[in-house]
Structure 1
Amino acid sequence: MSLSSEKLIYTPVRGNRRLAIILLSILSFIVLSLLTLSRTSINLGSCAGGRTLRSSFNEALFSSGRFFGTGYPTFVNLNDLQATSDGKSRQEHVLILTPLKNAQPYLARYFELIDRMTYPKHLVSIAFLVSDTTDETVQILKDQADVFLNRRDPRNRYHHIAIYEKDFKFDMPENERHKFELQPVRRSFMARSRNYLLTAALREEHAWVLWLDVDVVEYPAGILEDLQSVDVDIVVPNCLRETEDGSFWGYDKNNWQETEQSLAIQRDLDPDYVLLEGYYEFLTGRYLMVDMETHLPKLNKVPLDGVGATFTLVKANVHREGANFPPYAFQHQVETEGFAKMAKAMGFGVYGLPSYIIYHIMNS
């Protein structure tokens, strides 16, 4: 075979090989570019208002749990997590927790008031536990969360919003929810819902936890900064009922101090007996915050032994160290008042602000 014949046979092969190498190089460049773009979009999403965007591939890995065991541990130094009197300037995160049941009529005002607050929105997370609900509460929450998390200006986006649903199969007509004989069992279920919500939503970045009722209808825009400035473990404002004539009607009677009379009554009670405030069926003799003077400076604090949860600000370490909402009788209390008793037994301080007024909707 001649040299020219060899060239006729082998030259096309070398040309195809060169073309294949070029095509592979182009494809490799495209793949690497796409991967780089994907990583860039993830990082940009993480910086924008605290949200994280994932590619569909990463989403599949995340949902399948394949990220576990990759050799990348999480390290969080909780020694650096502080709740101080100047949380706003120190960039301390606040978690707002609200348990809900058929809350549709109240949600518009609830979100309006939260959005009016002057605390930086990128430091605020909100979490809900929806229980035994038959109205459109969940859908409204989803729609509002989409608005709060996807605003054009990153400064107006909230850090995180979570919606949990847990049914307890507990049904009580609205007109019976405040009956004396039904309170222990009702509030036991409320305690369980709060504990579910707390354990599901509390994250390592949260320095403060705010328990907020959905039907609180008025409070100052700077209330978070005000309550933080008091710098105590647990603090509550004075919650009154909203009235058309502006008259003084106390609402949250779960904020109280023990008295010699109330302590004497408890000495002879069965350990499982639950005391309730604001009911003529059993007068406890306690000093309610709604009965205290309200003309003093609004940040003037008084020690309390029991609290409600219409607007209760808690340093997150109080919950982290084990103070929760007992669904059983703890020192003759359940739920929020039991939480206050438990926190005090652990050495935490519980305080109220009689002159700092907020308003709850006028209901039964």
Structure 2
Amino acid sequence: MLGLSTEKYTPVRGNKRLTIILLAIISFILLSVLTFSRTTFGLSSCRTLRTFNEAVAFSTSYTSSSSSSSHGSTFINLNDIEATANAKEQQEHVLILTPLKNASPYLPRYFELIDRMTYPKHLISIAFLVSDTNDDTVALLKEQANVFLNRRDPEQRYHHVAIYEKDFNFELPEDKRHTFELQPLRRSYMARSRNYLLTAALREEHAWVLWLDVDLVDYPATIMEDLMSVDVDVVVPNCLRETEDNSFWGYDKNNWQETEQSLAMQKDLDPEYVLLEGYYEFLTNRDLMVDMPTHLGKLDKVPLDGVGATFTLVKSVVHREGANFPPYVFQHQVETEGFAKMAKAMGFGVYGLPSYLIYHTMNG
């Protein structure tokens, strides 16, 4: 009887031991998975993602670190990047670029005008390069970037905002800013600033680049679509000064055409001589766009040989193929006018709209 009783209860004790072992293994696996997930992703113990943009930033940084550790590759078909006359309908991205120095007084109106534009905000990126600044420009930019990127309505959020800082240790008193003798040096530093900003901010999705002055005071809300519809490589409106009596005062004299007289004069110039517009010290005999008739069609275009950058719309292919802002003398020009000369030398078209008026603050 004792032998039969032992045989009967042995399997029960074996099942208990097997159950305990299985439970221990399952508990170990669950504990390991939980520990790994908390350590790797940090979603439960590190922080809470408060906004959609913060979540995107978090996922982007995680993806970036993951791909770098796994030596991942990226394929981007640059053939698909095209700037067209129907940019809004084609959902083409625009990059707005603005170099800044002690610009805080102008920023409220600058952002107001950008936000008033009718081009879709989710297709607009904005990038700044702040140089040699001792006011609160950077703090104001960060504050506004937070507003633009975290609006409740997704359609009112901008695609991206970037703030870069690069000092050149170049100081010029405000009252000497437009002195004739200092212009080549000043413009050379401005060219370097633009090139830093362009190379830092241009991304594969950008079909257009808009160079925008911080101290404009008014332009049409539809200006982006209007200039895009002209469908040329580089286009600028006619920039006038803001005046209390609404009189006609030209501002951006860097938008000009060469003439037979100006070209003949250049044949005898030293190759390193920089030509400047709007100065009586050296007359160039060029045709300035601010002196052209403004009663024609708003989008009637004229070919230009030099441009400024108060509001200059560029198809991104122009910059991608190598046209930048020379800080050295290029065909007697530097910076924006040198850019226009370079773009034309590469076969791109440069145009202005004499009857399309925008307004600049009266600051020089």
Scaled by the length of structure 2, the TM-score of the pair is 0.90
Which deviations, in whole Å up to 9, do the C-alpha atoms of 1:210-264 show, x marking residues without a partner?
0000001100001000000000000000000001110001000000000111111
Greater shift, 329-338 or 8-17, is seen at 8-17
Distance 2:53 2:19 in 1: 53
Shift of 1:29: 7.8
Contact 1:49 1:154 in 2 (8 A): no
Contact 1:243 1:362 in 2 (8 A): yes
Residue in 1 that maps onto 2:305: 305
Shift of 1:78: 1.0
Shift of 1:319: 0.3
Residue in 2 that maps onto 1:14: 18
Residue in 2 that maps onto 1:293: 293
Residue in 2 that maps onto 1:41: none
Distance 2:14 2:310 in 1: 86
**Matches for 1:1-364 after TM superposition, within 5 Å:** 13-24=17-28, 27=31, 52-54=56-58, 59=61, 62=64, 67-68=67-68, 70-364=70-364
Matching residue's letter, 1:122: H
Distance 1:311 1:140 in 2: 22
Matching residue's letter, 2:151: R
Shift of 1:112: 0.5
Shift of 1:72: 2.9
Shift of 1:5: 8.8
Contact 1:94 1:208 in 2 (8 A): yes
Q: Which structure has the larger Rg?
A: 2
1:159–1:21 CA distance, 2 compared to 1 (3 A):
same
SS of 1:243 mapped into structure 2:
coil
Distance 1:353 1:264 in 2: 26
Matching residue's letter, 1:221: A
Number of residue pairs matched?
354
Distance 1:258 1:310 in 2: 20
Contact 1:49 1:159 in 2 (8 A): no
Shift of 1:351: 0.2
Distance 1:89 1:299 in 2: 19
Which deviations, in whole Å up to 9, do the C-alpha atoms of 1:282-333 show, x marking residues without a partner?
1111000000000001100000000000000000000000000000110000
Contact 1:102 1:137 in 2 (8 A): yes
Distance 1:73 1:119 in 2: 33
Distance 1:36 1:108 in 2: 39
1:236–1:119 CA distance, 2 compared to 1 (3 A):
same
Distance 2:324 2:229 in 1: 24
Distance 1:350 1:111 in 2: 27
1:91–1:242 CA distance, 2 compared to 1 (3 A):
same
Distance 1:331 1:102 in 2: 31
Matching residue's letter, 2:75: F
Matching residue's letter, 1:73: S
Distance 2:70 2:27 in 1: 33
Shift of 1:91: 0.4
Percent identity, aligned pairs only? 71
Which deviations, in whole Å up to 9, do the C-alpha atoms of 1:149-178 show, x marking residues without a partner?
111111111111111100000001111110
1:36–1:270 CA distance, 2 compared to 1 (3 A):
closer
Distance 2:277 2:178 in 1: 11
Distance 2:55 2:261 in 1: 53
Matching residue's letter, 2:213: D
SS of 1:68 mapped into structure 2:
helix
Greater shift, 161-170 or 22-31, is seen at 22-31
Shift of 1:49: 8.0
Shift of 1:59: 3.9
Give unpaired runs (5+ residues) of structure 2.
Answer: 44-48
Distance 2:50 2:235 in 1: 36
1:61–1:87 CA distance, 2 compared to 1 (3 A):
closer
SS of 1:126 mapped into structure 2:
strand
Contact 1:149 1:160 in 2 (8 A): yes
Greater shift, 68-77 or 108-117, is seen at 68-77
Give unpaired runs (5+ residues) of structure 1.
Answer: 39-43
Shift of 1:79: 1.1
SS of 1:52 mapped into structure 2:
helix
Distance 1:91 1:108 in 2: 28
